[in-house]
Amino acid sequence: MLRWNTWMYSFSLLFLLMFVPVTQTMAANQLHYTPSHLIVAEGPGLQLFASYDGGGQWQQVEPLPEGIRYGVFTGPPTGVWLATHNGLFWSPEHLWSWQRVWADPVAWITWSPNGEHCLFKVWGGGVLRAGPGGLLPGADRDLHRRLTLPLARPVQTATITDDGTIYIGLFDVGLFMSDDGGDTWSSADTGLPTRQVLELRQSPQGQLYAGTFGAGLWRWEPTDLAWQLVDETLAGTIITAMAFDGQGAMMVGTQEQGLYVSQPSGRDWRRDESVSAAAVLGITAVPDGSWWLYQPEVGLFVHDPNQLSWNPRPFRFTNRVQQVAVAPDDRWYINIAGAGLAVSFNEGQSWRLLNVPVPWQEDSKFAVAQDGILFFASGSELWRSVDGGDSWHREEGPWGDVPVAFLQQGPQGDVYLAMNERGGLYYLDEQAHWQLVAAKGSVPHSYWVHHVHFFPERTVAYGAYDILVEGPEGWTHTHFGQSGRRVFQTTAGELATERMLSSFVYNPADERWLPVDPIAASRRFTTVHSFDDGEHVGVGGPAGFAWWWDTDELHWSKVFEAMVVLDLFVMDEQRLLAGTTQGLWYSLDRGRSWSQIPLLFQ
């Protein structure tokens, strides 16, 4: 009996092939290499991320042609091709501009390894063989030829070899081949135990491989005109990606068993146990000898020929730095949206992505304690590392499975943890144990805390209805504003009541809440840090600016005009780090001037 997810996969595949023009599994290969860049394509909406320096820095490719996007393709001809419902688009090199080279909806395009032959699928118009010049601008369109398929069935996969032989996989029918340009066809599925061939790929040595749904990987034996299973190790697998290097080595990605690797002989297959068993949807070999691997559920990885393991590489929105902190040993840590936690040992000159224990999520966060202990939270899981992120241990606190609302580091290395759903506020004591905050007149276990801000002589925790303030006598519980009004925006020194009646900033010098300058009153601030002398408070605002509060003049001044400040870290009386939507920034003069730190990964 088929397992539920396997049955659903089969049903989904049938639906896609019958009703939408995604007819070739090559479209699912979401990792590509060209001499100019590496490209990752992922849904929904087929977003593109590109690196122009061999995978060090990544950026999202925008804008893209409008309309439903079916796949991105690269081949021996120059440039990158994007198949959409509004036609086929071509970008010559840097993906900054796209030119439409075919007006009808195109599902996919594929080339022979030598680049002399090309096939492409037009939605509602069949499969065409391109003439000389392919589909590049200026090519003679009258030389394109529509193939007469052997049966009127959806095309599941197709390829064309260096000698012009065409192989077509028809859904639920099988494979056919033509050596005369598509005029006549003969059956080409002898030896295959299945009709569900997901991908056909020719190696640089001229061998043809077929990746199947649930029957493993097969190699075409031209002398026998039959297919042969390449290795029993791959029997029963769902093949999702294939790649070759220049020496004949081959890697194969699967749906549920991760990655398999062969020697240059094409024999002696083994599963790479260092790779997760999650689906592999992209593999590519680079001329420098490295391999790149893409798993949507896990991330992007590179295998250097001089190393024995796969190293993660951030690529999604790597310019969005959500958190920044500096450990007592001067290690810099940043939380990169879509990528995870990274560390620098040389003040930001280069970075290394840490292997965090769980995949990055939108709510992932971290903090560093005074003694260098590193904490990472995602969902309801909290993890601790005492060796800088090399190994992790899951925390078993008194909060159970309540989601982590925030994990925050103070200027003196204080770490606070708050739980959603009234889980309470906790702090890390000198013995590195979590302790529940006890506040006079409050019920700590039901206290829902949104954020904590640190001032020179006070720590203020903002809750759903009230405020906790830590002073010389410990924590006190107080109300703010009119009784009964829910304080719903209580971050970064600003308090906004339910009806947005007031906005205030806390002045620790006289323990008073001072009205915010009207120019900034509408800003919903996200983070506050203060200097030791209490003279200035840095405020990051999601409206697109950072604001500085001058406690002498009671006035806000604006910096970072063109970006959103997500986090600020005060290193000392002069130096600051800012995580923004446009990367990591560094100031040597209390934020009066800033310079950007490139995120270069080892």
**Candidate from 15-24, 265-274, 474-483 with smallest mean pLDDT:** 15-24
**Candidate from 165-179, 247-261, 394-408, 527-541 with smallest mean pLDDT:** 527-541
The pLDDT value given to residue 336: 87
Q: Is the pLDDT of residue 89 over 60?
A: yes
Domains defined for the chain, CATH in brackets: 321-597 (2.130.10.10)
Sign (positive or negative) of CA dihedral 61, 63, 65, 70: positive
- State the number of CA atoms in the 13 A half-sphere of 486 facing the CB: 6
DSSP one-letter code for 88: E
Q: Is the pLDDT of residue 230 over 80?
A: yes
Paired with 367 in beta bridges are 375
pLDDT in tens, 111-125: 888 888 899 999 888
Q: Alpha carbon 69 to chain centroid distance?
A: 19
Average pLDDT for residues 338-346, to the nearest whole number? 87
Structure-derived torsion over alpha carbons of residues 212, 157, 270, 309, reported in degrees to the nearest 10: -140
- Pick the residue with more confidence: 580 or 410? 580
Average pLDDT for residues 320-340, to the nearest whole number? 87
Average pLDDT for residues 240-266, to the nearest whole number? 87
Model pTM score = 0.58
Euclidean distance between CA atoms 252 and 100, whole angstroms: 33
Euclidean distance between CA atoms 465 and 468, whole angstroms: 10
The pLDDT value given to residue 437: 77
pLDDT in tens, 444-458: 444 566 667 666 566
Q: Which of 15, 572, 30 lies closest to 282, judged by CA?
A: 30
